Amino acid sequence: MDGYRNTVINDLGLLGFVNDVVYYDSVDSTNTLISGLARGGAGEWTVVVADSQSEGRGRQGRVWHSPPGVNIYTSFMVKPDISYKHVPAMSLLAGMVVATLVEQCTGMPAEIKWPNDILVKGRKVSGILLDLLSDDHSGNCVVVGIGINVNADASVYPGSLAETSTSLLLLTGRTFDRAEMLVSLYSLFYKWYKVYAGHPGFDGIREQFMQRFRMIGEHVRIMSGPETLVGVVEGIDEYGGLVVMDPDKRMVTVKSGDVHLL
């Protein structure tokens, strides 16, 4: 564990854009921790890495299972100088970056389930959670949390998770250097973040994202709060919203929700 901590701190610290690296053997949630740091005045590109989480959070209030010593749990904070309406596309940016990293590590095609779940062979290998700390158009502060199942074997997944989750180890039969993967993750994210910031919204990353998006034409059920929408996926709009044709042939744009393939 000390080796992982020391390598993470040293290697991420060598990346010119990283402001600070905060490491914990265990936290409740890296997103919760860095949100507190951000409110306390931490600088952009402050990075939190943990070896385990006791209360890891996923989208739609789900728990992200976070056993020690095997996976990547990290969060960071950025302050994009863009309009608030373009911020949701950062969720898709994060999904595209992680999918690219997974493909580079495994040599297998990764699929993005809108907005940012990463699947390989139909099973989830990564989850991403964005927290927006300010909706001031002149001062957006976005926390990006990323969990990647790296070296976990099937025994660490409780209950039904064993049927829906996977890891790079289970996919390839070999273990991976988590610290090395973290450096690659942040290098990739920074590269594409600059593209996104230069072309705000989804259009700057559309081509890369759509190469890994397999939902066009799929029948889906989308639950967003108390509302449920059933329809066919038609595409993604300029802000990252999912465009769905409902049973009355109307085009509906979904900005957030839980998507189930039918």
pLDDT in tens, 19-47: 999 999 999 889 999 999 988 889 999 99
237 lies in which domain range? 219-261
Q: Are both 57 and 184 inside the same structural domain?
A: yes
Provide the pLDDT for residue 135.
47
- Could you tell me which residues come within 8 angstroms of residue 49 by beta carbon, excluding any fewer than 6 positions away? 8, 12, 21, 22, 23, 24, 30, 72, 73, 74, 182
pLDDT for res 138: 45
Q: Are 57 and 35 in contact (CB under 8 A)?
A: no
Q: What's the gap between Cα 187 and its chain centre?
A: 15
Do residue 193 and residue 223 come from a single domain? no
CB < 8 Å & 24+ apart, contacts of 155-161: 156/65, 156/67, 156/70, 157/65, 158/65, 161/65
Residue 2, pLDDT score:
74
Q: How many domains, in total, are found in the chain?
A: 2
225 and 162 both lie in a single domain: no
Write down the pLDDT at residue 62.
Answer: 54
Quick one: 166 and 70 in the same domain? Answer: yes
End-to-end CA distance of the chain: 43
Q: What is the pLDDT of residue 65?
A: 62
- 206 & 168 share domain: yes
CATH code for the domain of 16? 3.30.930.10
Q: What residues of the chain score a pLDDT lower than 50?
A: 59-61, 135-138
pLDDT tens per residue, range 131-156: 888 644 446 789 999 999 999 998 77
